[in-house]
A and B are shown apart, each in its own frame.
Chain A
Amino acid sequence: KAGVTQTPRYLIKTRGQQVTLSCSPISGHRSVSWYQQTPGQGLQFLFEYFSETQRNKGNFPGRFSGRQFSNSRSEMNVSTLELGDSALYLCASSLERSAMNTEAFFGQGTRLTVV
């Protein structure tokens, strides 16, 4: 069974640009959550998608957005990039919503560097 796949693995962008990251969950999983990991703040929850709808959202500005497609694949978008957006962005896949206390599996992440 294939794991969670995130693309691209590495990305370098310039301040002010926008970026789109992709996550393919484990087959059959319907929930995709996104997290940001930085040295200063650790792992922080961005948002969760289930059945193509955003269910939960963390404390991030509106520049961070996402969507989920009918095949459960998800994308997240960051607009008007800032230096502080440099981070490892992780996607987690689970069978049900996180509210159902279900096991979450992480991808390897996308390392975004903003210069």
Chain B
Amino acid sequence: GENVGLHLPTLSVQEGDNSIINCAYSNSASDYFIWYKQESGKGPQFIIDIRSNMDKRQGQRVTVLLNKTVKHLSLQIAATQPGDSAVYFCAENIIGGADGLTFGKGTHLIIQP
């Protein structure tokens, strides 16, 4: 896949368990954060976003938590399914958008049957 060769953190979870994927972002001025899922051979797919005026946002089976104090973002996936296997990226957008989206290196989530 696209990330072969890049040493990605790997998270292996049992099907049905909850997953927590973490991301440390770099710029304290960033005010918009997004989680993307990328399956092999496909482009990144939007999962959920959060603005800096929020600490938590929930979607369907997913929750994003934002801790601005320590510049940390997490994605929680409830009751993981085989289809959740993918590489997950966090992205930040800097106020003014001078640099577009800045992506983290990604985490490879593996679902064990």
Contact = CB atoms under 8 A, between A and B. Distances in A.
Contacts of A109: 42-43
Interface residues of A, number: 32
A51 interface: no
B101 A45 contact: yes
B5 A101 contact: no
Query: What does DSSP make chain A's interface, helix, strand, loop or mixed?
Result: strand
A5 B81 CA distance: 28
Assign chain B's interface to a size class: 20 to 34
Given A90-B44, A105-B46, A106-B43, A43 B93 contact: no
B40 to A, nearest CB: 11
B102 A45 contact: yes
Nearest to B7: A39
Interface string A77-115: 000000000001010100001111101111111000000
Contact of A101 (B2, B45, B93, B99): B93
Interface string B56-95: 0000000000000000000000000000000001010101
B100 A103 contact: no
Nearest to B6: A39
A108 B101 contact: no
A90 to B, nearest CB: 5
A43 B101 CA distance: 9
A42 interface: yes
Interface in B4-52: 4-6, 31-32, 34, 36, 41-46, 49, 51
